Structure 1
Amino acid sequence: MLSLKNKTAVITGGGSGIGKAISQLFAKQGAAVHIIELTAEAGQQAAEEIKAEGGNATVHACNVADHQQVLSVFEKIGSVNILVNNAGIAHVGKADTTAEEDFDRVVNVNVKGVYNCLFAAIPKMKAAGGGVILNMASIAALVGIPDRFVYSTAKGAVKAMTMSVAKDYLADNIRCNSVSPARVHTPFVDGFLQKNYPDNIEEMFDKLSKTQPIGRMGLPSEVATLALYLCSDEAAFITGCDYPIDGGFTTLNN
């Protein structure tokens, strides 16, 4: 069950947080994993841990917002069976407090970065007779989140792109789904709290945890398990869907 043997999986942002958990689990299940990170150093530890467990991992330095860089990296990788568009950046701000350069920066990574990888991977999947794409959306694409204007904008686009790609490539045997996590406890969360709430980290962590009705943040491994299922042959009947993994955030916060 849920074997990825003889599959090549590309995971953007695969060196830390949710992406690292997905990289590790996919390698454990037999995939040849290609981690795309902004710098090779950012993905090196994840790759070394995978190799220490007997897995297959390669790191590629690439800015997903750079079209030519992405095309070049995918040419090096060759055949692609699975693409996980996980790379993304966050931003805090409302419509009238988000600077133009911040808007452009978030959209370039979180939207154009997904497009660039789709553009590079889909022809390879078509040539191989099919493939699976999983996009990382967010609960910010589903409900109103305060002070997350451009992040919500970008993740809403990712959710819409997922449906468009799923529809367009049905005849090519390419499935495309997305997952929408709520707050997941990653190094990013720890860094965010350290930067913005250095004097009351524990209090804010508890407050953020309890915004999920289940009473805690998610774990990267839990998101990775859902990703594994959706990218496996066992999920062959699933396409064009978004899966909230949110501790009840989108349906039970009332």
Structure 2
Amino acid sequence: MHASTKDRADLYRMVMDKHICPFGLKSLHLLKSKGYDVHDHWLTTRAETEAFKREHDVDTTPQTFINGRRIGGHDALRKHLGKPVKDPDAVTYTPVLAVFITAALMAMAASWATQGSPLSVRAVEWFIAFSMCILAIQKLRDLESFATMFLGYDLAARRWVPYAYMYPFGEALAGILMIGHLAPWLSIPVALLIGSIGAVSVFYAVYVQKRELKCACVGGNSNVPLGFVSLTENLLMVAMAVWMAIA
């Protein structure tokens, strides 16, 4: 939806010395990109902001008015302009895709620099090891949330709760060691152990019990569904451990 040359938009947003509303900036950019004649009204104090909200009987800012009619906040504006609005509860594979694509590009770049080609055996090894490290970082960002979600389906963690807290450290350790082919006597059994238990746990929860759960693979606050992705993560660890043991 694009505005005609006569369409006027009045945007009221917080612009203070120590706070500039990010959704106000998004709304401003969206209105300008759609060709509206934007009148940008700054709410420069908390008192001014609260007075505005009372006057218009709204709970939040920014607020957009188009040709005198209130549209609402940033999400309402996106809907009015035919833009999608993210559902915070919707399942998504985006976090996992971001991890795997980034890890693959990192592995190819490292291979190119050291092997003279982006496609090599080392590139595949680095892809798996980099993925393990990045996924471990995601879990360690909020270890408590990860452990809580992980306990919902991991068989070993259910028997011994501390395992849920140890898992991401083991994944990170194995990944780091595998990047440099260091201490295979340690990295191989760690990756084999946690990868095998994880694969069995996911398979049992999803394909045997038919449970619909969220995956803790990218941390405890994700909306990634438990299933193929988590199974792949664990099977890659097992494959890497087996490969390093026979290579």
TM-score, with structure 1 as normaliser: 0.23
Greater Rg by CA: 2
Q: Which has the higher contact order (CA 8 A, sep 6+)?
A: 1
Which structure shows the higher helix fraction? Answer: 2
Q: Which structure has greater strand proportion?
A: 1
TM-score by length of 2: 0.24
